[in-house]
Structure 1
Amino acid sequence: MAKTTSTSINRPNEIISAAIEVFAEMGYYRATTAKVAERANISQPYVFRFFATKEALLVEALKVSFARIQESFQQVIHSAPSEQLEQELITAYSQIMTEYRNEILLQMQAQTIGEDVVVSVMQQGFRDIHSIVFGAFRHAGIEHASQRTMLFLARGMLCNISMSLDLPELMKIDD
């Protein structure tokens, strides 16, 4: 009996993981809850037991993806020396891009979705990341923390484009 409860408790997370994959592969508008259910090995009505709409599922998937970045950055901030902070944040984000590529692709796609609730989640996610990075840079005594934060985030967006289009040359820096 406990196994059933555990499975039931994990189902929303499994559905979100399946949705991230399906949305990233097919795009939000082409993806269906039936495809998400198929990927999660459950019935479509079972998806709706936890998520009233496809949009609600997207919102939760986006929240998961932003939370992963925020948690990773917080871990770096609490452990990296000030002089290595920016590089450690870059390393952490690179690792997320490698291990959770579909989450990054999902965020990139969501930037083009004009639904108010999706726009709101995207805005909040980016505000939170900006706040975390800016606060860490300022606390570390990094000069021009605001400008460095903007450049850090811009570099992250370029990393996303480089990864999604398989154009590593976009990230080459001449020494």
Structure 2
Amino acid sequence: MPKDKTAASVNRKNEIIAAAIEVFAEIGYFKATTAQVAERAAISQPYVFKFFATKEALLLAALEVSWARIIDAFRQVIASAASDRLEAELIEAYDQLLLEHKNETLLQMQAQTISDDTIRKAMRNGFRGVQGMVLEAFQKAGFPNAEERTTIFLAKGMLCNISMALAMPELKGI
């Protein structure tokens, strides 16, 4: 495939994933249809299936994008933050993600309740990736009780999710 067609295909796939994130977050994964995703992406429904064999495959791709965004943001912070600012900067980065990519967080929150083994595996892998990255960073920074601090950090992140989803900033102590 020529380079420009490959790039266009990748862009179209990314547009479909972005549309799916929006639709799934707004309507809910189980209520949403691939026709609604196609409409949001301004394409035909069969074109969605050119890239994703099933709605579940599309959800998995959307979850992969959302977890990758968190990992990338945290990786940047870990690479540049001073040890004494590491946790605060990770929190700031996550708060920024909640502002800029709210639908991805809402999607992850929904996915946590889906009992399908493939979806659960994707969610476990995402959480493990974030947990491992934060734990390693806290250990390298010399944080005492790095395991416990990592657990508390992740718990605060979940509370931030709930705070955002319910429009209850008081849950974050704001």
Give the distance between the partners of 1:42 and 1:14, measured in 2 at CA.
Answer: 10
Shift of 1:124: 0.3
Shift of 1:9: 2.5
Is 1:135 the equivalent of 2:136?
yes
Query: What letter is aligned with 1:144?
Result: N
User: For 1:77-116, what aligned pairs fall within 5 Å after superposition?
Assistant: 77-116=78-117
Aligned to 1:60: 61
Shift of 1:2: 6.6
Q: Summarize deviations over 1:123-147 as a string: whole Å, max 9, x none.
A: 0000000000000000000010000
Give the distance between the partners of 1:165 and 1:99, measured in 2 at CA.
Answer: 17
Aligned to 2:16: 15
Segment of structure 1 superposing worse, 150-159 or 7-16: 7-16
Q: Summarize deviations over 1:32-81 as a string: whole Å, max 9, x none.
A: 00000000000000000000000000001001000000010010000000
Is 1:157 the equivalent of 2:168?
no
Query: What letter is aligned with 1:143?
Result: P
Shift of 1:7: 2.3
Give the distance between the partners of 1:100 and 1:5, measured in 2 at CA.
Answer: 26
RMSD: 1.2
Give the structure-1-normalised TM-score. 0.96
Give the distance between the partners of 2:35 and 2:144, measured in 1 at CA.
Answer: 51
Query: What letter is aligned with 1:58?
Result: L
Give the distance between the partners of 2:164 and 2:139, measured in 1 at CA.
Answer: 29
Query: What letter is aligned with 1:131?
Result: G
- Residue segments in structure 2 that go unaligned for 5+ positions in a row: none
Give the distance between the partners of 1:72 and 1:36, measured in 2 at CA.
Answer: 27
Give the distance between the partners of 1:156 and 1:98, measured in 2 at CA.
Answer: 13
Give the distance between the partners of 1:5 and 1:125, measured in 2 at CA.
Answer: 28
Shift of 1:3: 5.4
For residue 142 of structure 1, give the secondary structure of its aligned residue in structure 2.
coil
Give the distance between the partners of 1:29 and 1:43, measured in 2 at CA.
Answer: 20
Task: Give the total of aligned pairs.
Answer: 173
Q: Summarize deviations over 1:53-111 as a string: whole Å, max 9, x none.
A: 00000001001000000010010000000000000000000000000000000000000
